[in-house]
Structure 1
């Protein structure tokens, strides 16, 4: 039932439809990322590139550059958390069943290694059975170029039924 629902949902989901439409064009991922990062303008400060978007999964990357570095020359963890929140938002919008809504409730992250390298890759993941009313922890992980995890944690969402329209 979950797979049937997700494939049905995927065909009508606005964010997935937009993502898939953009993929048909040169630089489609870059254009989609620019449009999506305007949904919450602070996402734009990391200049993200959404590389994969599907129900229960979103991946993006951004380059290490002066604007996202800290005083020791590594990518600042707040910039990484910004990427984590964007990946979570993409996943949530691409996954949430039509009768539900979500809002972030909190974030818990652990810094596990220095964020050296030229790029940071951020992944947000859930499983279909998690999408029920109540608290939903979205797993978020950030990797440097060599595959080392630099930040990992969860963004807690509160999922609830949409109110019925009178």
Structure 2
């Protein structure tokens, strides 16, 4: 099965004109972000709505800070219910932050002509997470018209602490197909 991501550029088209990489039709999630991000407190309201739609993420109290085609950032506060037995942020909480960022990225990037689902995640725990976290997912511009069969997209997600130190790195593989 074809795979694209950080190592393979077979479907990545970084030099395409903006019209070729623009989202053909935005997802309802991305349209909601675009409307709410413009108003004071809108990103918090959007984040609450996202937790209502995907209740599992409520455990990490994600705050979507940035969401646009090619990049999404989600912050997660360090609070008691995310602690492990060492008093640091639990490893799986950081995985949830990575998955939330990836989901926001895909909702902003994948046009409604296609659909996506996470398939696997490879995680490296680099350091103890002793502060709040920020997960950033990135994807090079793609020409989705070239995706006519299912492909795997590898989404790299960097999870950093308040000091900007990467404490977790995740590569999340998503399966993308025409809708």
TM-score (norm 1): 0.89
The correspondence for 2:130, drawn from 116, 130, 134, is 116
Pick the structure with more helix per residue: 1
Residues 129-161 of structure 1: CA deviation (Å, up to 9, x unaligned): 275341110111100011110000211001112
Q: Provide the rounded CA distance (Å) in 2 between the counterparts of 1:25 and 1:140.
A: 27
The correspondence for 1:81, drawn from 95, 104, 111, is 95
Larger relative contact order (Cα-Cα within 8 Å, sequence gap ≥ 6): 2
> Secondary structure of the residue that 1:15 maps to in structure 2?
helix
Q: Provide the rounded CA distance (Å) in 2 between the counterparts of 1:100 and 1:25.
A: 29
* Matched residue, 1:161: 178
Q: Provide the rounded CA distance (Å) in 1 between the counterparts of 2:91 and 2:18.
A: 35
Q: How many residues align?
A: 160
TM-aligned CA distance change 1:130 to 1:107, over 3 Å: farther
Alignment of structure 1 residues 38-117 onto 2, 5 Å: 38-117=52-131
1:35 and 2:52 matched: no
The correspondence for 1:135, drawn from 145, 152, 158, is 152
The correspondence for 1:149, drawn from 166, 170, 173, is 166
> Runs of 4 or more off by more than 3 Å in structure 1?
5-10, 130-133
Contiguous gaps of at least 5 residues in structure 1: none
